[in-house]
Amino acid sequence: MSDSYRIIENTLKNGVKRIGIMTGGGDCPGLNAVIRAVVMMADKYGVEVIGIPYGYRGMLLGGDYFHKLTCEDVQGIIEKGGTILHSSNKDNLFKYPRRNKEGFEHDENGKLIYDNFSETAVQNLRDAGIDAMIIVGGDGTLTSGRDYSRMGVPVVGVPKTIDNDLRSTEITFGFDTAVSRCVQAVESVRTTGEAHSRVMFIEVMGRNAGHIALHTAISSGADVVLIPEIPYHFDKLVAELRRRLERNGTAIVIVSEGVTPPEKGAYSTKIVEGSPDAVRFGGVSGVIADYVERALNADRDENGYAISEVLMDVECRATNVGYAQRGGVPTANDRLLSTRFGAFAVKELLENLVPDEKGNFGRMVSVQENRLTSVSLEEVIASSTMIGNQRRVDPEGELVQLARNVQISFADE
């Protein structure tokens, strides 16, 4: 029996006539390509797709906020960044911070008051005749996806994060575009570094995982890369940069946003009250650059030269690639991967709508050995902590060894 006939037969058997789709968490190149693939694949088998805007907030609002997506609606969106469904990374309906006219509401001890609106959200899905959900997001979004599957909602998750740090899949869409953006940024600032004989620090995203930084460093031929998984030593960083300056007259340092500053208290992350992912990174590269500049210029020779008679004074400059990594046109690789994920998610719902041993149906599309499959959301979201669900850089892995072999320093030895 062909795939088409099997899917049609199982669709009739499972009774899936209407699929809901939402995008949660941060925006990411390739989201629109996923939406397009879901709509096109479902239309082929006579299944309706209902778009739920604004992430989980849209599930709570329900009613007129839900709207049908047709093939005409998704024409020409495959190359667009962002998401036509919009997104939010602040709405965990299982733990939703209560608000009043002054903002968040606190109890007598100053702690946030939370409500659980998950039942309301599930009822909104039922009222809209939605039989199953495709939820596109990272670890935070898929944590709620897992919990909705426990409430009886069939869920297939699509792994989305530029950080490429989600467990149980070898790759997430958005990562290729992010690394490409970062490499372009390095190439743009390298000429300034060469012209002025400066040390250029380029900060990239990744939270507590250094995949973007490591791939960027190797792809751009950087001198040093700092990632959270391999703690650096400040003295060794300074010594390595001195050596690179003496040899090349300039240096490139890639900094993952989650690395620690040279000194405790020199840098603090921003905490966003009421957000499921409350820690906001950004800016540590500038702090490290200032410390390095002072250290290099504090060690002068008898002539007062920091490095040489040409490099009398060392200048360090920091550039944060920031949201440029997440926005704009996705690469061809991300468009292809997103389309594969979206189509497979529909196939998984229509062909394999089978509950696990606990009666839950919660799966996530996954790439294993470069082949598409699916894994249980219980496996993907196995920890109660965000970092516990992350796939981090292996300090002994092949890419770390490759970086060392091509003389990229981690300032750790």
User: CA–CA separation, 245 vs 194, rounded Å?
Assistant: 11
The pair of structure tokens assigned to 245 is 């300056």
Torsion region of 411: left, alpha or beta (phi above 0 gives left; psi -120 to 50 gives alpha): left
Q: Does an H or E element contain 43, and which? A: helix 31-44
Contacts of residue 157, defined as CB under 8 A and 6 or more positions apart, other chains included, come to 134, 135, 136, 137, 141, 142, 145, 345, 362, 363, 364, 365, 377, 380
Q: Taking a C-beta distance cutoff of 8 angstroms, is the pair 242, 254 a contact?
A: no
Q: Taking a C-beta distance cutoff of 8 angstroms, is the pair 146, 362 a contact?
A: yes
The pair of structure tokens assigned to 377 is 């959301």
∠ CA 405-165-286, nearest 5°, is 70
Contacts of residue 207, defined as CB under 8 A and 6 or more positions apart, other chains included, come to 163, 165, 257, 258, 279, 281, 390
Instruction: Please report how many Cα atoms fall inside a 13 Å half-sphere around the Cα of residue 262, on the Cβ side.
Output: 17
CA dihedral 328, 334, 340, 344 (to 10 degrees): -70
Q: Which residues are catalytic?
A: 163
Q: Does an H or E element contain 60, and which? A: helix 56-61
SS3 labels along 277-332 = CCEECCCHHHHHHHHHHHHHHHCCCCCCCCCCCCCCCCCEEEEECHHHHCCCCCCH
Alpha helices in 82-138 (DSSP H): 118-127
Under DSSP, the state recorded for 98 is P
User: Coil, helix or strand for 255?
Assistant: strand
Residue 80 to residues 6, 67, 142, 259, 412: CA-CA distances in angstroms? 33, 20, 23, 32, 40
Phi first, then psi, for residue 122 (nearest 5°) are: -65, -40
The pair of structure tokens assigned to 186 is 């390095």
